[in-house]
Amino acid sequence: MPGRRGSPSYLGHHLGCFPSAPACRVWDPQSCPDWEPPRPSPLLCRDMTLQNALYTGDLARLLELFPPHSTADLLLESRAAEPRWSSHQRGLWSLTYEEELTTPLHVAASRGHTDVVQLLLRRRAKPDSAPGGRTALHEACATGHTACVHALLVAGADPNIPDQDGKRPLHLCRGAGTLECAELLLRFGAKVDGRSEENEETPLHVAARLGHVELADLLLRRGAYPDARDAEGWTPLLAACDTRCTPPTTLEATAARCLQLCRLLLSAGADPDAADQDRRRPLHLACLHGYAAIVELLLSCGVSVNAMDYGGHTALHCALQGPPLALAQSPEHAVRALFNHGAVRIWPGALPKVLERWCTSPRTIEVLMNTYSVIKLPEEAVGLVPPEILQRHHRFYSSLFALVRQPRSLQHLSRCVLRAHLEACLPHALACLPLPPRLLRFLQLDFEDVLY
């Protein structure tokens, strides 16, 4: 429901706190359509005929209710969508619907009734009225009604006014008309880097966080600063790497849009290694969510592969601590990319814990084990893998547990020595070695699904 809870001064003035107040203090379109109050504050309307016409967009009925010279500068009462617990006396709580205030213009704009919006504006509805904290322009942008946005802007609505949460209309553009609404706002003077009052987010932060590639592209073309920081030190690139899958979007689609956003921001000059207040970098977040393609993109930009956040976690730690959903993103590719760019190996004592957590991803375990010259697992580690996983990946786990505390193949030992020798320049040196492709892939820890 558009609008938020009204202020006590509005409620007290218009709901009959003064017993001697005349009846027309509450507006009645049938009895006094042309009457205008001598005070600047809007009238409170309880007429259900008017409200029904507004919600359904009944223009013919509204033309009757708002004849020429009448005013549409009104307040409407509505109830919150969900009941809330409230206490009017000490110790006495009740579940009630809180009353909220809105205006006819808010209702029409939020529902895309453009003809009604234009009628109300002609009847002197104030485009920047915000009894509940949002203007009608906020409502139109949040629902993606482009024609309503245009009508309000033409009527003088402020494209930079913050709502009750400190967000400007450009922060709220949603729905099918997102791009068109944003273009209109920018054309009418919206600040492309206007910040929200509390979080200090720019519209580019919001577009990146929501995975909206087209909107981010529009904002960057209009001059948005790619390295703007919010109150927590987050840049749009950090926000893009932290974008999460929300139904009905699939994990694959989310990862693809995140990759597009990162490429777009990096091409616009975004710092690939910018850290937030907790020293988390884009690489940390991409690893945490298992976005292997973004990990490889960031590594190709020369980011610090072993940089730690305030908790002492490197990107490799994040890759191995990701949620179960990260399995769908093939975490072994992110882990291999990190090792091929010089990531420091994890402490061998932590390997049993990693085995237990990632046993359903044997290729992740394979990459980890291939960075050591000896498989450093206790003999009882076989009990960490459930029997059904052992059976499903029998060939790999048989080779793993057969090599516990046993010497590895000479070929693998040679690989370990060469990688250790090239450690300082590993990502560049491996690509430059004049070796057959198969041997080069072996040096780059390519997957074989078995350990030798």
Q: What is the pLDDT of residues 393-433, one digit of tens each?
A: 999 999 999 999 889 999 999 999 999 988 878 888 887 88
**Are both 153 and 86 inside the same structural domain?**
yes
The torsion angles phi and psi of 102, rounded to 5 degrees, stand at: -145, -175
Using only C-alpha atoms, the chain has a radius of gyration, in whole angstroms, of 30
Range of the domain at 445: 350-452
**Are both 80 and 180 inside the same structural domain?**
yes
The pLDDT-based confidence of 238 (bands split at 50, 70, 90) is: very high
Looking at the predicted structure, is the pLDDT value of residue 129 above 80? yes
**Are both 355 and 309 inside the same structural domain?**
no
- The residue among 171, 188, 205 that closes a domain is 188
**Are both 338 and 365 inside the same structural domain?**
no
Return the structure tokens found at 390: 């052992």
**Are both 118 and 34 inside the same structural domain?**
yes
Return the structure tokens found at 179: 């791009």
- Give residue 183's pLDDT: 98
Average pLDDT, the chain: 86
Q: How many structural domains is the chain composed of?
A: 3
Q: Return d(Cα 207, Cα 211) in angstroms, integer.
A: 6
**Are both 5 and 150 inside the same structural domain?**
yes
Q: Return d(Cα 210, Cα 196) in angstroms, integer.
A: 16
Q: Return d(Cα 204, Cα 228) in angstroms, integer.
A: 9
Least confidently predicted of 124-133, 157-166, 255-264, 320-329? 320-329
The beta-carbon contacts of 120-127 under 8 Å, at least 24 apart in sequence, are 120/66, 120/72, 121/72, 121/151, 121/152, 121/155, 123/66, 123/70, 123/71, 123/72, 124/71, 124/72, 124/73, 125/72, 125/73, 125/74, 126/42, 126/73, 127/152, 127/155, 127/156, 127/157, 127/158
**Are both 148 and 45 inside the same structural domain?**
yes
**Are both 364 and 444 inside the same structural domain?**
yes
- The residue among 188, 208, 237 that closes a domain is 188
**Are both 220 and 246 inside the same structural domain?**
yes
**Are both 368 and 340 inside the same structural domain?**
no
CATH of the domain at 319: 1.25.40.20
The pLDDT-based confidence of 123 (bands split at 50, 70, 90) is: very high
Count of CB atoms situated within 10 Å of the CB of 433 = 11
**Are both 95 and 6 inside the same structural domain?**
yes
For tokens 């944003």, the residue is 182
Helix (H, G, I), strand (E, B) or coil at 79: strand
**Are both 329 and 379 inside the same structural domain?**
no
- Give residue 431's pLDDT: 78
Residue 317 half-sphere exposure toward CB, CA atoms < 13 A? 13
